Amino acid sequence: MNMDPQKYLRYLGLPSLFGTHRTKEIFNINPTAPSQREEATEIVITVYDYNADSMEERKFDKVQDCFHYKNNNRINWINIDGLRKADVELVSNQFNIHPLLIEDILSMHQRPKMDEVEGILFCLLNMLYFNEATRTVETEQISIALGKDFVISFQEDASRDVFDPVRNKLRFGNSKIRQRTADYLLYAMLDIIVDNYFQVMEKLGEQVELLEEEVIRRSNTKSLARINQLRKELIVLKRNIAPVRDLINGIIRSESDLLDDRTTKYFKDVYDHIIQAYDLSENYRDMMTSMQDLYINNVNLKLNEVMKVMAIVTCLLAPATVIGGIFGMNFDNIPSIHNKWGFFIAVGLMLLIPIWMLRAFRRRGWF
């Protein structure tokens, strides 16, 4: 009867222990390949039309409904949740967004970047979320186009984002966003995205701390699997944080007419935050490297302890082996072989010598 071992090994769950599928998700990225993005089944367009005196908040399900907000002498934030190629092209053509930027909006796995193309300042980056159930870092690509008196943002997922604090500020007439131009709204959006990076890193920091205690107390294969998993999540974190430095720096150095000189100092504040986030991600990476070394050292220490115990047991059994070997030889003339107390003397020596050896080892501090 032929038995396939793979049929039964799959029930052990070994691949899932080390999460090889997550490695494929992280590294199997080719931004030059044709986009395989699925079209959103429905989209939600939210428009915030405001100035210092009033604010109108409207929701639509057709992109054409937001076209009349263009050039109305007010600031407009058009947020589009859900991406469909036809709708993105329609909105982009209406607001003079270049076709190259349309490709970036519809692309997947793009590196965060900033571009200025024909009167549009374009930012592409990722919002980060921490999934408590799977303990993984999830990403959502967001594209932001800044034009004259408008900001258009394109999001993949309609069910979540990080912009609620920005929306709440827009609803208050005395907030800075309401008093400033569209570039300040762009700053507020980038600032809240970067601030959310720290929340994700805080969650990862908790996982690192728990794992460190686990490795110190008991190092096993499961601990190694968790180290491997966290290292992958830190790769995702660093990959998304590091390029944002160049993005913010590009905005600071830009001489675009869309950016007010008064707003530059705010972007510098975001730049300081992203530098701090990058340094923190580097610290986490160093901690994971140290933790892996700690795991290896603990495993080696346990192995040394086992080998020490086995060596001591071998040494303690050596006298009994020698005595038994000597008196077990097939010779006629062996001293005391016919002594009636010979057996008891031999057994006594087998017990007394190891006891003396144990005391000698203890005095030397060998255990």
Q: Which long-range contacts (CB under 8 A, 24 or more apart) does 129-135 make?
A: 129/160, 129/200, 130/199, 130/200, 130/203, 130/204, 132/203, 135/207, 135/229, 135/233
What would the pLDDT profile of 107-119 be if each residue is shown by its tens digit? 888 889 999 988 8
For the chain, the structural domain boundaries read 16-298, 305-364
CA 214 – CA 354 distance, rounded (Å): 38
Domain topology for 16-298? Beta Polymerase; domain 2 (3.30.460)
Task: Say yes or no: do domains 16-298 and 305-364 share a fold.
Answer: no
Q: Tell me: domain 305-364, CATH 1.20.1050, correct?
A: no
Helix (H) or strand (E) holding 305: helix 264-327
- Per-residue pLDDT tens for 66-103? 888 888 889 999 999 989 999 999 999 999 999 999 99
pLDDT 10s digits, 217-257: 877 778 888 888 888 888 889 999 999 999 999 999 998 88
In what side-by-side order are the strands of the sheet with 44-50?
55-60, 44-50, 75-81, 150-155, 136-147, 120-131, 113-117
- Asked which of 24-38, 76-90, 163-177, 297-311 is least confident by mean pLDDT, the reply is 24-38
Contact 25, 235 (CB under 8 A): no
**DSSP characters for 306-322?**
HHHHHHHHHHHHHHHHH
Full-model pTM: 0.78
Q: Which of 138, 102, 132 is nearest to 120 (CA)?
A: 102
Q: Identify whether the C-beta of residue 145 lies closer than 8 Å to the C-beta of residue 121.
A: yes
* CA–CA separation, 114 and 126 (whole Å): 13
Identify the weakest region by mean pLDDT among 26-35, 67-76, 270-279: 26-35
